[in-house]
Amino acid sequence: MATINTYLNFNGNTEDAFNFYKAAFGGDFAVIMRFGDTPGCEEMPETDKNKIMHIALPIGGNMLMGTDVPETMEQVKNGTSMSISINTDSEQQTRDLFAKLSEGGKIQMPLDDMFWGALYGMFTDKFGIQWMINYEYEKK
The verdict on 58 and 92 lying in the same domain is no
**Residues 135 and 119 sit within 8 Å (Cβ to Cβ):** yes
Q: Whole-model pTM?
A: 0.83
Query: Cβ of 86: how many Cβ atoms within 10 Å?
Result: 19
Statement: residue 36 has pLDDT above 70: yes
Statement: residue 73 has pLDDT above 80: no
**How much is the average pLDDT of 23-34?**
96
- Domain holding 130, by residue range, is 84-136
The pLDDT confidence band at residue 24, using thresholds 50, 70 and 90, is very high
Per-residue pLDDT tens over the stretch 74-115: 777 877 667 899 999 999 999 999 999 999 999 999 999 998
Nearest-angstrom CA–CA distance, 67 and 46:
17
The verdict on 62 and 97 lying in the same domain is no
The CATH number given to whatever domain includes residue 16 is: 3.30.720.100
The verdict on 63 and 10 lying in the same domain is yes
Predicted local confidence at residue 3, as pLDDT: 73
Total domains present in the chain:
2
The verdict on 114 and 64 lying in the same domain is no
The pLDDT confidence band at residue 26, using thresholds 50, 70 and 90, is very high
Percent of the chain with pLDDT over 90: 69
Instruction: Share the mean pLDDT of the chain.
Output: 90
The CATH number given to whatever domain includes residue 102 is: 3.10.180.10
Torsion angle, alpha carbons of 47, 53, 58, 64, to 10: 90
The verdict on 10 and 64 lying in the same domain is yes
77 within some domain: no
Percent of the chain with pLDDT over 70: 96
Which of 38, 68, 98 is at the close of a domain? 68
55 within some domain: yes
